[in-house]
Amino acid sequence: MLIVGNWKMFRGPDPAALAGLDAVVCPPFTRLRDCVEAGLTTYAQNVHWDKEGAYTGEISAPMLLELGVVGSLVGHSERRQYFGESDETVGLRARAALAAGLRVVACVGETIEERRGGKTEAVLRRQLSVLEPHPDLVLAYEPVWAIGTGQTATPETAQEVHAFIKSLLDAPVLYGGSVKPDNAAALLAQPDVDGALVGGASLEVDSFKAICETAARIPS
């Protein structure tokens, strides 16, 4: 059961307050070193596909590894929505990061318009088509309509979609979308939910610890 906290563009909590926690944190770039030095399993929020080059604002896998960072998110819905991330570039980032020795959490998910239009499976099939099975690849299903909105997919909906994703690509699948201490148990208890990608609740030490403790109680 893997719990990943995505701090997004927030400074986040004191890494020392999370020391010893069995979880992954994805802080902004300015706090990567702090988290590594606190002994936390630290992932970046993004990684480029080239080792170096004229890519202002990007960061490469070797640079992250040099800091002690062990993994990265790729393809988060906010990268797709605000920064022009495409399925093709998600695939490039994932393959390059895995080849360099980073672990990867690759995010997929549909918008509310796509869900209402009955396109969920088609969207996921397209997004997953650029990814290949790898021992260090984990997927995160994040329904875009449930991110930062307070809405959450029902446990039954999450289970149905996770099972579909696994039918297309053999990899663990995390659920991401307004995961909180009060809904984590029901979501994590689903047989095809292998953990959670936590946004806002990961910024508060007590709530993030509560989710991690809930996950630890779920039979593997």
Q: Report the distance separating Cα 139 and Cα 141, nearest Å.
A: 7
Catalytic annotation present for 142: yes
Query: Residue 21 carries which side chain, given as an amino acid letter?
Result: L
Catalytic residue among 48, 134, 142, 162: 142
Measuring CA to CA, which residue among 174, 175, 176, 179 is closest to residue 150? 179
With beta carbons less than 8 A apart as the criterion, state whether 140 and 105 touch: yes
Catalytic annotation present for 204: no
Catalytic residue among 48, 76, 134, 162: 76
Measuring CA to CA, which residue among 110, 73, 218, 105 is closest to residue 172? 105
CB atoms within 10 A of CB 54: 6
Q: Which residues are catalytic?
A: 76, 142
